Amino acid sequence: MRVFLLLLLVVSLPSIANELSVLSPDKKVKLSFTDDGELAQYRVSFNGEPVLGLGKLGFTFAKAAPLYRDFKVEEISRNTVDQTWQQPWGEQRNIRDNHNELLVKFYNPSDKDRTFLVRARVFNDGIGFRYELPASGNRIITRELTEFN
């Protein structure tokens, strides 16, 4: 029986998903990234309630391997910003920029060329993220796979 349980534990270890999260400054909005199922994914919650369910991240290319599956997630850096800047027009002259930032890397452990970064910013009233692709030749994007569930 012990051997069976140990074997079950060893077999299930590779399938354990990593999850990285960043909260808004008021701690109400949470953005999480995961490699569940070895897919690059994210989700958003507000006050602990789901707002956006798991959605895929990634791209397909004309002549390169797709960037969305067979990935692991890794934290690169975190940053907090609370500053005010002035815009030259608009209803408000002074704009407060208050957010927490998380930079994550999705990478394929067996292919170092299949990597991309996601820089996410979480504000008290929403989120934003962008992809950063390392320079590795000329890539033609045929499809963006970002999902909003």
pLDDT tens figures, 51-84: 999 999 999 999 888 888 999 999 999 999 999 9
Report the pLDDT value the prediction gives residue 106, as an integer from 0 to 100. Answer: 95
Domains of the chain: 17-144 (2.70.98.10)
Per-residue pLDDT of 92-135, as tens digits, reads: 899 999 999 999 999 999 988 789 999 999 999 999 999 998 87
CB-based contacts of 57-60 (< 8 A; 24+ apart in sequence): 57/33, 57/106, 57/118, 57/131, 57/145, 57/146, 57/147, 58/106, 58/116, 58/144, 58/145, 58/146, 59/116, 59/131, 59/133, 59/141, 59/143, 59/144, 59/145, 60/141, 60/142, 60/143, 60/145
